[in-house]
Structure 1
Amino acid sequence: MMRILAILSAMLCALPALADENIADQYPGSALYSKPVEVIPHVWSAIGATAPPTYENTGHNNNLSFIVTGDGVIVINGGAAYILAEALHGEIKKITNQPVKLVINENGQGHSMLGNSYWSEQGVPILAHVDAAHEFEEYGGQILEGMKRYNREKAEGTFLAGPTETFEDDYIVDMGDFHIEVRYLGPAHSPGDVSVWLPEQSLVIAGDMAFHERLLPIFDDTMTADWLETWDAEFEALNATYVIPGHGHPTNMAQVRRYTKDYLMYLRGKIGEHLDAGGDLADAYYVDQSPYSHLHTFDELATKNAGRVYEQMEFE
């Protein structure tokens, strides 16, 4: 265990500097933005760019993880395009001859589900929360067209393929040497967000429940008060030693707490002060978020986040 902690500590010190948005690709010759790394024994993740999805990063701006269980491989996230899922499978085959037996979609967004097109052709079962499946069914066409615009010829082969199996609360997988709990903890970043919890390893593949390194985005359907409630009641209770977030390098609970829960509380506090002072939406966009200005995607997201929180809190 001490050796694992030392390795993870070294990764945390060395890797974040490589996540800069100005680095177009860390793994030349592959569609993947970075080569998969073994976070703890048998749990791997190909860490995506912390920039928005672009042609240069092929849309690989989230983490594509997999678990080599001893009796098959479980993949977490289909990827943003057929080409990414295919590339990830190629890396898996270099590591093990165990077949991929399950793909888990962490939510209904494109970077989680568009790569299902590849996995469906391999005949691999695909699992998602019922709300994520509904989200993809409703908006999948728009999501696919958006990916085609930035990925151009790299979008070839990608088609809409939803999950083959859905669940509502928890989905338990016992495979090989691993007991795996796919858990819907409650409302968070987007409909149907799930986290993959490995209790025996004290590791959570958090998905978009937890962010660091890049500013989290607040969507129209992101209810920040609910997210905070889910965090306190469910996610924090895991007390995980290792956290693989949806975006950014493997880290720990303290780090994702600082840049997820603490950021949400900070922004809601600033917007609350603005509302108490009689401030309007136009000025709400510019409340002070400077303590988080060092995070990647801050310029793209900060004002949008403030506006959406204002619109929520105005009627709370």
Structure 2
Amino acid sequence: MTRWMLALVCAGGAAMASEDIADKYPQSELYDKPVEVIPHVWSAIGATAPPTYENAGHNNNLSFVVTGDGIVVINGGASVRLAAALHDEIRAVTDQPVRLVINENGQGHAMLGNAYWADLGVDILAHEDAIHEIEENGDFILQGMQGYNRDRAEGTRVAVPNLSFSDRHVVEMGEVTLEVLHLGPAHGPGDTQVWIPDWQIVIAGDIAFHERMPPIFGDTCTSCWIETFDGPFTALGATYVIPGHGHPTNMAQVTRYTSDYLKDLRAKIRAHLDAGGDLAEAYYVDQSRWQMLDTFEELATKNAGRVYEEMEWE
């Protein structure tokens, strides 16, 4: 284990990232250069800020696994230019070809770069619910990316994954067995985890957060998310966790800042409901315990309102 990774695994507090940090890799479309998290598993860690022109939409983690007989990429990237930049970094590490791309969900930063890989003849795998989201909302998502990314969006189009799965898809490539999993409802439709049991590492996607506040969507079931996280996700027993956003870490960290956060917010909203509180007041329940998380200002009140609307009818 590298000294860097050991420090992350043993850290007692979140390794905080700041939205004010400038692009860390200005010579590349990537926000930061990929790092080898454990042997053979690499990740280009994105900004924990919202997507902007300055970070080229690289605000999630773009990972890849070197199997000995090809590369498995996790996340297509937010544009074809971002996907190409990641491919340049892969070529600097190995001459093995990219054989599979996995989308961790149907959001833009996971799938808008698919067209780059599809044009190379690479198979693209996603959960069936993520594929449905791409088919239904892909053009709208693309327009949003074009709005902030301007010239950096040139050439990007929606490319729907050509492979799908429902619960579990096993990839055996080279010396590695990867389990592509949908463990249950969590952050959004089609949330996907890539588990490598022999190496005790999970590329978790957006089921797990620790440096930025988890976003809660209008259709997110937070009680379901907690159940999936505390149940089958925790049961994996992962030593290493690459979350959807933020630096690689361990289960204790993502538990504290994901499951514990959701439980705390639900408890605050439950108390507010029991006291007869309304939606307008719910936005301002006390979340100061979590204000150190990036995107707190953007998400805290939205999250509270959405949990209120969810729990009002429970």
- TM-score bucket of the superposed structures, by smaller chain: over 0.9
How many angstroms apart in 2 are the aligned matches of 1:7 and 1:309? Answer: 37
How many angstroms apart in 1 are the aligned matches of 2:209 and 2:194? Answer: 15
Match of 1:7 among 4, 9, 19: 4
How many angstroms apart in 2 are the aligned matches of 1:184 and 1:152? Answer: 34
Matched AA of 2:7: A
Query: How do 1:172-183 and structure 2 match up within 5 A?
Result: 172-183=170-181
How many angstroms apart in 1 are the aligned matches of 2:78 and 2:202? Answer: 22
Q: Paired residue for 1:235?
A: 233
Q: Paired residue for 1:125?
A: 123
Q: Under a length normalisation based on structure 1, what TM-score does the superposition of the two structures give?
A: 0.97
Matched AA of 2:5: L
Match of 1:78 among 71, 76, 79: 76
Q: Paired residue for 2:63?
A: 65
Match of 2:40 among 38, 42, 63: 42
Q: Per-residue displacement from partner, 1:236-292 (whole Å, max 9, x unpaired)?
A: 101100000000000000000000000000000000000000000000000000000
Between the two proteins, the alignment pairs up a number of residues equal to 312
Moved over 6 A (4+): 12-15
Percentage identity across paired residues of the two chains: 67
RMSD of aligned Cα (Å): 1.3
Q: List alignment gaps of at least 5 residues for structure 2.
A: none
Q: Paired residue for 1:217?
A: 215
Q: List alignment gaps of at least 5 residues for structure 1.
A: none
Bigger CA drift: 227-236 or 207-216?
Answer: 227-236
Match of 2:198 among 197, 200, 204: 200
1:246 and 2:239 correspond: no
* Structure 2 counterpart SS, 1:107: coil
Match of 2:86 among 85, 88, 112: 88
Q: Judge conservation of contact 1:80–1:113 (CA < 8 Å) in 2.
A: yes
Q: Under a length normalisation based on structure 2, what TM-score does the superposition of the two structures give?
A: 0.97
Kindly tell me: are residues 232 and 11 of structure 1, through their superposed partners in 2, closer, same or farther at Cα, counting changes over 3 Å?
closer
How many angstroms apart in 2 are the aligned matches of 1:162 and 1:315? Answer: 35
* Structure 2 counterpart SS, 1:126: strand
Matched AA of 1:10: A
Deviation of the 1:11 alpha carbon: 5.1
Q: Judge conservation of contact 1:15–1:249 (CA < 8 Å) in 2.
A: no
1:138 and 2:139 correspond: no
How many angstroms apart in 1 are the aligned matches of 2:96 and 2:18? Answer: 34
Q: Paired residue for 1:114?
A: 112
How many angstroms apart in 2 are the aligned matches of 1:223 and 1:106? Answer: 18
Q: Paired residue for 2:270?
A: 272
Q: Judge conservation of contact 2:45–2:247 (CA < 8 Å) in 1.
A: yes
* Structure 1 counterpart SS, 2:46: coil
Match of 1:292 among 290, 305, 311: 290
